[in-house]
Amino acid sequence: MVHPKRQWPAEPLKTECSETPIPIPRELTLLLSAAVQKWPSEYMVTNGEGKPAPPWQIERRIRELRTAGTVPGLPEAFTFHDLRHYFASLLIAKGADIKTVQARLRHASAKTTLDTYGHLWPDADESTRTAIGGVIAEWVDSATAVADVLRTEGGS
């Protein structure tokens, strides 16, 4: 778990929801542990000297990576904040439900999450067709079974 404590530049977090611990996978825990070993600091994102990295420094590094071609296909207008959108779209693509995405992005309301990312959830046409088709098939099978029983009883 990651336990957010403050935001840039050492300001308190915006809301109570912002303080919610964030579950992270073991692989990320190992990467973060290695980074803390290499660059000991109380901050998650540092300038390499143990001090918090200001947003302009992160943006500059993103531009350097783009110019060097280190990240193929990185759009010209890509910003650090776009990582948040990438994270949300990745969760949705992997099947996370609205409440999970809301919690991970720490939106106060699922409406905010839906208004921003609702278009990314897969179209539900096929699942609704399957659900209704299944009910109709059960009904037809049941009705056919009843009709067969009535015919058999009526014919004896």
Quote the radius of gyration of the chain (alpha carbons, Å). 26
What is the pTM for the complete model shown? 0.69
Q: Looking at residue 92, what is its pLDDT? A: 95
* H or E element at residue 38: helix 26-38
pLDDT at 98 over 90: yes
Domain locations along the chain: 1-65, 81-122, 124-156
Residue 115 · residue 105 · CB < 8 Å: no
pLDDT tens for residues 38-69?
888 888 788 877 788 888 898 898 889 888 88
pLDDT tens for residues 83-97?
999 999 999 999 999
Mean pLDDT, the chain, rounded, equals 86
- Give me the phi and psi of 3, to 5 degrees please: -115, 95
Residue 89 · residue 120 · CB < 8 Å: yes
